[in-house]
Amino acid sequence: LSTAPPPRRTGHALVPRLLGQGYGEAQIAERRRWVEAETGCRLDEVGATTMAGEAMRGNVENPIGAAQVPLGVAGPLEVHGEHARGVFYVPLATTEGALVRSYERGMAAITRAGGATVRLLADENKVCPVLTYTDAAAAVDAARRLPELLPELAAAGGATTRHGRLLAAVPTVVGRRLIVAFSWSTGDAHGMNMIVRGSDAACRLLAERTGAVDRLALSGMSSEKRPSGALLAGGKGKRAVAAVRLPRRVVRAVLGTTAERLAEVWHATVLGHLSAGTIGYNGHLANGLTALFIACGQDVANVVNCAVGVTDLEATAEGDLHASVNLPSLTVATVGGGTGLGTARECLEMLGCAGTGKAPKLAEIVAATLLAGELSFGAAVGSGEMVAAHETYGRNRPDSPAAADSGGDEARAPEAAS
Ligand code: NAP
């Protein structure tokens, strides 16, 4: 077989419609060959996937194969939640060398200290349609009628879903526009498809009852896949807190620093966050979120809103460290979306989180994982080992001989810090 790429065509053709509908293996292969011919590249790796074409239906259009991301595991992580109880090994999909090792170090500290306490304070996802009225007075009248109309709106929205339940409708009037924040309980689903549909039905009824002249399903106020102060203050999804008290000997032995040093890192870096106008305060919540989300078939774009959170590091009078992560906008699912795809399903099973009744448990494990990442990150910043850790674990220079394998030499390697 020739390894030379096929000659490149010069057209600007759309992916053929006929192939666009097909999820059969032959259709996927044919579409891939068509792309190879159009672009002059080879897609052998993209095509070498165990994922069945039909399994991708509902998750992607015009399939040509699968993108693969390296998958590591970090643990043991001891969690004391109300849904997640026990020791977990957490799958993390990433290309950032040092990330898994870093989370693993934080998990070792948490577990050595007896485990992380995790609680969920709220569990609701939001959609915010906008209705337009003839004038501001009419918009205000409609807003005032919302409480009285809520049961009817809940019935109309609820008729579109078996698992979704409309909990609240909170108005914001801007001129002659009425934005309504519909909050839904979404069971084990992330719920955006579910609640956009349900909110649309509720909104249609609201428009009829209140004489709106126009309406849009989305206003932007829900901050889905966008960061905002509203997420930090008001939340969206599950509101989670994960906390641990690390005895000073654990801080020293596992993190190689002191509680006082970590508190100083917190103080100095919170000033940087404030100076940048950052929404929330945290070391790198997005890292663990992204790696877990890819592994477990979550909607990865939700990292943008889920990563709006606050990390707190505090030295106690005894020299212990009290650490917490506070996540007001955590959306995770164990049903729907990409959770049923082969590798995602297996990763969820690794956590005992596949299927019905498991979304709160997954949320608690995610929160404890992020706490581990924050601890390790803070320790790395405080001890100045960030650069060394990435040099040891995270370099992959394309123009130099293969990096030496540091495996088995962890005693002398700098601690990882993603
Ligand atoms: P989905 O895969 O579209 O639907 C999941 C469905 O599973 C639910 O609607 C529900 O049906 C059913 N279900 C079965 N058992 C359930 C259980 N135990 N708990 C909850 N539901 C259960 O997923 P989704 O969560 O609604 O939406 C997530 C997807 O929406 C993501 O892939 C995301 O990319 C996408 N998304 C959509 C929008 C949008 O504007 N529509 C925006 C952002 C993201 P019933 O409803 O009949 O109960």
Q: In angstroms, what is the span from residue 187 Cα to ligand 1's centroid?
A: 10
Range in 18-27, 243-252, 310-319 with the lowest mean pLDDT: 18-27
**Distance between CA 411 and CA 380 in Å, rounded?**
16
314 is known as an active-site residue: no
Among residues 83, 190, 284, 390, the one annotated as catalytic is 390
Mutate to test the pocket of ligand 1, among 190, 197, 334 (most ligand atoms within 8 A of CB): 190
pLDDT at 417: 59
Residue-wise pLDDT for 23-70, tens only, equals: 999 999 999 999 999 999 999 999 999 999 999 999 999 999 999 999
**Distance between CA 79 and CA 76 in Å, rounded?**
10
Q: Is the CB of 191 under 6 A from ligand 1?
A: yes
Residue 409: pLDDT band with limits 50, 70, 90: very low
Q: Is 96 exposed, middle or buried (0-12, 13-18, 19+ CB in 10 A)?
A: middle
Non-local (6+) Cβ contacts of 278 within 8 A are none
| Start-to-end Cα distance in the chain | 42
Nearest to 142 by CA among 211, 215, 201: 211
User: What is the pLDDT of the chain when averaged over all its residues?
Assistant: 92
pLDDT at 398: 72
Q: Which H or E run includes 314?
A: strand 310-315
Residue 246 dihedral angles phi and psi, to the nearest 5°: -95, 120
Is the pTM higher than 0.85?
yes
| 190, pLDDT greater than 90 | yes
Non-local (6+) Cβ contacts of 79 within 8 A are 85, 86, 87, 88, 115, 116, 118, 364, 365, 368
Paired with 168 in beta bridges are 183
pLDDT at 18: 54
Residue-wise pLDDT for 212-254, tens only, equals: 999 999 999 999 999 999 999 999 999 999 999 999 999 999 9
Residue-wise pLDDT for 246-279, tens only, equals: 999 999 999 999 999 999 999 999 999 999 999 9
Q: In angstroms, what is the span from residue 336 Cα to ligand 1's centroid?
A: 5
409 is known as an active-site residue: no
Paired with 126 in beta bridges are 183
Tell me what percent of the residues of the chain surpass a pLDDT of 90: 86
- Cα–Cα distance list, 256 to 49, 105, 108, 319 (Å): 42, 10, 12, 14
Q: Is the CB of 123 under 6 A from ligand 1?
A: no
Task: Give the residue-averaged pLDDT of 206-211.
Answer: 98
Residue 287: pLDDT band with limits 50, 70, 90: very high
| 410, pLDDT greater than 60 | no
Task: Give the residue-averaged pLDDT of 153-161.
Answer: 98
Tell me what percent of the residues of the chain surpass a pLDDT of 70: 90
Paired with 88 in beta bridges are 77
Residue-wise pLDDT for 349-396, tens only, equals: 999 999 999 999 999 999 999 999 999 999 999 987 777 777 777 777
Q: In angstroms, what is the span from residue 205 Cα to ligand 1's centroid?
A: 22
pLDDT at 10: 57
Residue 404: pLDDT band with limits 50, 70, 90: very low
Non-local (6+) Cβ contacts of 294 within 8 A are 69, 93, 94, 300
Q: Is the CB of 370 under 6 A from ligand 1?
A: no
Non-local (6+) Cβ contacts of 188 within 8 A are 163, 333, 334, 335, 336, 355, 356, 357, 358, 359
Non-local (6+) Cβ contacts of 63 within 8 A are 23, 28, 31, 53, 56
| 197, pLDDT greater than 80 | yes
390 is known as an active-site residue: yes
Among residues 299, 320, 374, 415, the one annotated as catalytic is 299
**Distance between CA 194 and CA 127 in Å, rounded?**
10
Q: Is the CB of 192 under 6 A from ligand 1?
A: yes
Contact call for residues 238 and 363 (beta carbons, < 8 A) = yes
Residue-wise pLDDT for 89-142, tens only, equals: 999 999 999 999 999 999 999 999 999 999 999 999 999 999 999 999 999 999
Residue 176: pLDDT band with limits 50, 70, 90: very high
Ligand 1 atom closest to Cα of residue 162: 48
Residue 157: pLDDT band with limits 50, 70, 90: very high
Q: How many CA atoms lie within 13 A of 17 on its CB side?
A: 0
Q: In angstroms, what is the span from residue 383 Cα to ligand 1's centroid?
A: 44
